Amino acid sequence: MTISRSFYLLLGLFSFYGTLSYAQGPHNTSSYTKASIDKELDKLKRKILLDPKDESLLLRLKTESEELAYEEGILSSGDKLMIIYMGQSRNKETIELADQLKKIALNKKDPKGIISNIFRKSGLALGYLGLEDASLKDFKTAIKYAETIDDVDRKLYLLSLCYQNLNVSYTVKQLDDEKYGDSSLYILNKSLDFAYRIKDNNKSVTNDQKYSQIAFNNMRLGMLYLRGEDTDSNLSKAEKYLLESQKIYENKDYKISLDEKTILLNQLSWLYLEKKDYKTSIDYANRAMQLEKQHPNPYNRVESFEFLSSCYLETGEKEQSKFYMDKYTLLKDSLNLADKKTANVLMKEMVSEVKDDHKEELSKLWIWASIIFFAGTILTWVLWRKRNKIIHEKYEQIIDRLKNNTTGNPGKTPSQTKNVISNDTGNDLMIKLEMFENSERFLKPDITIGFLSGQFNTNPKYLSEIIKKNRSQNFSSYINNLRIDHIVSKLYNEPKYREYKISYLAEQCGFASPQVFIIAFRKVNGVTPFYFIQQLKNSDTNLK
């Protein structure tokens, strides 16, 4: 599933809150002093959530601090403004503000951790836009500043945040190379360890902040195991961490953000979808959507749509599945387009700024910016994929399977060819099944286990058991795999099929609707039919 993320990368990372509501007008006389600015900022210091009205106050405090040349006031108010910007996914504004604040922070000490926070949030925003190298650089700077803080609990809290957010970079890298999964595991456990070491009821870190960190890290660890192979061990570990997180989120002693609770409910929906407990999965996804209404976030909403669509498809409720798949597709396309535009605009502005200030470095910057843009583009389409898997790697696996196929049945993997039925009846049925697989009778839209068992002169229950033991699938998945493998073979071997509409392809391989076909295709191959067809066309173009 998507982290998410895309998004998936959603694919589900540390959240910030607030909305923009104030524009500072011109004035000649400041009504603030350094002491009054500090007093106002101190009121916000221990809040884990910032109200929409806080943004107007912070903009005013930042402006007043600038007029007084009060650098600590500028940094403190700017740091809190970044929280609000990120809460609305305003990553471009976050990065622009961070660039202003970094110039002021240059060569200054950071006893309170304000500068560390500025670099950390900048790294997070850059990571969200796929600018990985710049993101990693800012995270490392944030950690260096955090390590210099005198207050032990404050230091532990900021280090926990830094390592938690640093996982953004390793999550993206993991999509390219599974070895980074170990790095993510190490980083998240390190962040969790820092959080557990914070003393309860201390003067610098609230219990809400401490336990929010613990809950969020447990959730991220659960998501890490969910992204791995669908083994009983991984699912068991994922459930352990997610339920540990849920205990904290449901504890009324702690005030923790609604956005984080929504993310957790979606991850629990994903967990129980993988465990095939569809009723529980649907319940968690619906709870996530209800909570999301109180704190709107389209990235959370799109996850709920995907899980609900998948669950209803598995339970045979095709109309409900189609309803949520349509919502998912429309919203996902909008989010991908918005993210891509933001990354493009940011890259152009970065180039323009350096062109004015450092002309001699322009050629180097263009190379750097091009690399960042490419990385951002890759991130955008990677986050589209269910469970944040690499789309192109899935595509290449399909192509390798088609090239190396010698069985006549592209969908039959070695694990599916085992024959554990030893009696004559079982062997006879296996022969009939293989003949059926090599025919095209599975393309009939009305084929059922009852119909096929009648053709084989056996009963449905026994035939279902034969398929389950020898093909490691239930009957519905077995038929869908055969149909999808058939159309994949046609698309690969007969280019004319690539020009047909999805609705026609769905009808040709026996699916009741294009939506059901798209979901089944993605479930079998890990990519959508649209992507697969486009890559085949691109391959043809490259060969010319």
H or E element: which one contains 536?
helix 529-543
Q: Tokens for 393? A: 């790697």
Instruction: Express each pLDDT in 475-505 by its tens digit.
Output: 888 998 999 999 998 888 888 888 888 888 8
pLDDT of residue 385: 45
Residue 447 predicted with pLDDT over 60: yes
Given this model, what pLDDT does residue 331 score? 82
Q: Which amino acid is at 144?
A: K
Which pLDDT value is given to residue 70?
Answer: 93
> Any residues with CB less than 8 A from the CB of 11 and at least 6 apart, and which?
1, 2, 3, 4, 5, 171, 383, 387, 388
Provide the pLDDT confidence category of residue 431 given band limits of 50, 70 and 90: confident
Mean pLDDT of 295-302: 85
DSSP one-letter code for 9: B
Q: What is the pLDDT of residues 152-191, one digit of tens each?
A: 999 999 999 999 888 766 655 444 444 444 677 888 899 9
The H or E element that residue 239 is part of is: helix 232-249
Distance CA 272, CA 480 (A): 22
Comparison of pLDDT for 427 and 77, the residue scoring more: 77
Contacts of 420 (CB under 8 A, 6+ apart): 469, 470
User: Averaged over 80-102, what is the pLDDT?
Assistant: 88
pLDDT reading at 29 higher than 70: no
DSSP states of 155-221: HHHHHHHHHHHHHHHHHHHHHH-TTHHHHHHHHHHHHHHHHHTSPTT-SSS-HHHHHHHHHHHHHHH
Question: Which pLDDT tens digit goes with each residue over 208-231?
Answer: 989 999 999 999 899 888 877 767
Ordered DSSP codes for 271-323: HHHHTT-HHHHHHHHHHHHHHHTTS--HHHHHHHHHHHHHHHHHTT-HHHHHH
Task: Give the bridge partners for 4, in sequence order.
Answer: 8
pLDDT the model gives residue 11: 35
| Position 3, amino acid | I
59-63, 108-112, 450-454: least confident range: 450-454
Asked if 519 contacts 321 with a C-beta cutoff of 8 angstroms, the reply is: yes
Enumerate the β-bridge partners of residue 460. Answer: none
pTM of the model: 0.55
Comparison of pLDDT for 108 and 9, the residue scoring more? 108
Q: Domains in the chain, please, with CATH?
A: 395-543 (1.10.10.60)
Side-chain-side CA neighbours of residue 390 (13 Å): 15
The whole-number pLDDT of residue 27 equals: 40
Angstrom CA distances, 323 to 121, 310, 330, 429, stand at 37, 11, 11, 39
Query: Tokens 């998948």 appear where?
Result: 310
The residue-averaged pLDDT of 299-303 equals 86
Question: Over the stretch 93-137, which tens digit does the pLDDT of each residue have?
Answer: 999 999 999 999 988 889 889 999 999 999 988 887 778 788 889
Q: What pLDDT is recorded for position 22?
A: 30
Chain centroid to CA 211? 23
DSSP reduced 3-state for 395? helix
Query: Token digits for 315?
Result: 């339970």
pLDDT, mean over the chain: 77
pLDDT digits (tens, 9 = 90+) for 276-287: 899 999 999 999
Under 8 Å between Cβ of 285 and 315: no
